[in-house]
Amino acid sequence: MEDLRLLIDLHRDSERQGPGGEAETRLGIRLAGLDPAAPLDIADIGCGNGSSALLLAQALNAHVSAVDLVPEFVDALRDRAAMEDLSDRIDARVASMDELPFEDEAFDVIWSEGAVYNIGFERGVNDWRRYLKPGGILAVSEITWLTERRPAALEAYWNEAYPEIDTAAGKMRVLERAAYTPVGYFVLGEHCWLDHYFRPLQGRFEAFLKRHGHSADAHALVRAEQEEIAMYEKYRAYFSYGFYIARKTA
């Protein structure tokens, strides 16, 4: 899996592996109505290098169980937790989101930023529900249409890449059908994509290509990332990540 190795190498040193931001994670915490003093058990699924896991552990009286499929990302989170003196509050493990090593009703909160698409939003929110205590909070960000009508070329691109993309109304319907009550929603602004994700990523391209001797595969990956960035820049009025906060109903 040479391609996967390259992908991991390109992303392992980044602060985040997808669009997002500290202020946006904090807004999610506020909309979830979480009491900063109350002891909370939180799962962070598809945690990447752990920017949200670290913030959750800092901002709340929380124990965070963070999982990701990629051992390099889990290691990076462990290092960052140690540096910030949060090792006793963050348990980072390698696990797949479709086979989670958790007990039923173990968590007050399930957090997942920019990751549930890997198994699909509908499957993720349905499968993960059992790990929440009654009344527990689910906070997930998910690629979302911002408008009811979109250019045909953009529709074609996303129908190929992720056919589950939908409007916020559609995503909330999925949450309601899965027995959650939506309690908050907002859209990630452009800075979450451009300043926090794409620009730092572009800044790593040159060193990445050098590290891999300018191989054809390395160039192909950089080209693919550039295409994704160009797609966002051209069509950003039509899609972004939506951040969904929902409560597990009885």
Task: Tell the smallest beta-carbon distance from residue 151 to ligand SAH (Å).
Answer: 26
Q: Does 91 bind ligand SAH (CB under 6 A)?
A: no
In the complex with ligand SAH, which residue's Cβ is closer, 175 or 201?
201
Q: Does 20 bind ligand SAH (CB under 6 A)?
A: yes
Q: At 18, phi and psi to the nearest 5?
A: -165, 175
**Interaction mask 181-220, ligand SAH, x per CB under 6 A:** ----------------------------------------
Q: Does 142 bind ligand SAH (CB under 6 A)?
A: no
88 near 62, Cβ under 8 Å? Answer: no
Q: Does 73 bind ligand SAH (CB under 6 A)?
A: yes
Q: Does 70 bind ligand SAH (CB under 6 A)?
A: yes
Looking at 47-131, which runs of residues are DSSP E strands? 62-68, 90-94, 107-112
Q: Does 18 bind ligand SAH (CB under 6 A)?
A: yes
Closest CA to 211 of 5, 8, 9: 9
Distances (CA, A) of 230 to 71, 234, 236: 30, 6, 10
Antiparallel, parallel or unpaired: β 239-248 and 132-145:
antiparallel
Distances (CA, A) of 55 to 25, 49, 59, 93, 196: 8, 12, 6, 17, 15
Q: Does 114 bind ligand SAH (CB under 6 A)?
A: yes
Closest CA to 99 of 119, 71, 117: 119
Task: Tell the smallest beta-carbon distance from residue 125 to ligand SAH (Å).
Answer: 15
Q: Does 118 bind ligand SAH (CB under 6 A)?
A: yes
Binding footprint of ligand SAH on the chain (CB under 6 A): 16-18, 20, 46-48, 51-52, 67-70, 73, 96-98, 113-115, 118
